[in-house]
Homo-oligomer: A and B are copies of this chain.
Amino acid sequence: MTEDLIIRDVRPMGGAATDLYIRDGRFAEAGNRKVAREIDGRGQVALPGLVEAHTHLDKTLVGMDWFENRVGPTRNDRILADRKAKRELGINARRQSARQILQTLAFGVTHIRSHVDVDTEIGIANIEGVIATREAFKGLVDVQIVAFPQSGMLGREGTLALMEDALKAGADIVGGIDPATIERDPVRHLDAIFALADRYGKPVDIHLHEPGELGAFCLELIVERTRALSLQGRVMASHAYCLGMLDTPRQHALIDSLASEGIAVMTVGSPSAPAVPLRMMRRSGLVVASGSDGIQGTWEPWGNGDMLERAKYLAQRNGMTNDADLEETARICTLGGAQGIGLTDHGLSPGCPGDVVLVAARTLAEAVALTPQRRTVIRGGRVVVRDGVLSGDLPDAA
């Protein structure tokens, strides 16, 4: 249990200045108990912990040699290059995941859902590596692990058994991948992963890049299985580019059916992929989360994992420039992500875990537009980053 903490003069979500109290690791009403520690917030914007709802902790090359990317343009080229790199570069999933976590903690990312590769070459070694990191960062950064059949499942015998091994070893979520374009059998793929989820009582998170009506059909299959297995609130469709490739009535119908089954959609706002209809999705009550996807890996050379910058990408991809829209994208990267990955008490209200990120900005919109650095990050009442500098007593990434 940490000592009580008062954070003076901060502006929750850019609103009026106030003080925040953290008692026994959670936000509390102001009391008359003596407060042991005090922080001057200097009028900064206070956000709940940023939520990274979709990344690949096991595959970042942060801190390693520069990877010269000569990979071909198709998704399959990238999957092959990715598997080759894992083999040839000797990417250590435990160390690399810790590196990314430390880098993004400095931005205020306190909760991460990571897809972690499971395949017949590496088995569940990456799952075990990220589990080790998850344990090392317990209480500092919460990590959810998705057992992810990156190289395909149906076509590579033994993968489904490895997925099961991953769940037994401690993976939290059943992952899936393009049921049609990669797996070549949408019904069998989805039946297999939903069966695993049902058997192990786990949520589902599916990479769905399928285009247009093919993607829409896959989403319908996902809706049907979510309903049949009563998995409402426990299924996420990641990317779901198809939502940006349909005509408006079809978009509405699909989004409504996703919303009614409590299926969340994760979008990274990629500048080169179809833009999903963000406003329509939020207005329909759909839970929208966001993520960085892989950072600095063989897929994409860039990315820093800053989920406030991600809010900017979401706004930019959707042509949003209004303050109100930028505030909305900030909510997607905090509260939306939290709901999407199943957190029930994320926020700055009394009773919520004492997680807060302080950003030097005049408004929440400015925080998104200019993504100021040198943030202060508090986790469960413990100051883990002060003005951009990580506390000296955090786990390392050796």
Contact = CB atoms under 8 A, between A and B. Distances in A.
A300 interface: yes
Nearest to A304: B370
Interface stretch (A5-13, A171-179, A319-327, A335-343): A319-327
Contacts of A304: 370
A266 to B, nearest CB: 18
A328 to B, nearest CB: 13
A176 to B, nearest CB: 24
Given A313-B271, A365-B68, A366-B66, A321 B299 contact: yes
Interface of A is mostly: loop
Interface string A63-105: 0011011110100000000000000000000000000000000
B366 A272 contact: no
A68 B316 contact: no
A363 B302 contact: no
B271 A370 contact: no
A207 interface: no
Given A66-B362, A69-B365, A300 B321 contact: yes
Nearest to A318: B272
A296 interface: yes
A301 interface: yes
Contacts of A370: 296, 301-302, 304
Given A269-B271, A272-B275, 10 more contacts: A66-B362, A70-B323, A71-B322, A271-B271, A296-B369, A296-B370, A299-B321, A301-B321, A301-B365, A301-B369
- Enumerate the 7 nearest inter-chain pairs by beta-carbon distance, A residue then B residue, closest first: A272-B319, A301-B369, A271-B271, A302-B369, A271-B316, A66-B362, A271-B317
Interface of A: 65-66, 68-71, 73, 269-273, 275, 296, 299-302, 304, 312-313, 316-319, 321-324, 326, 362-363, 365-366, 369-370
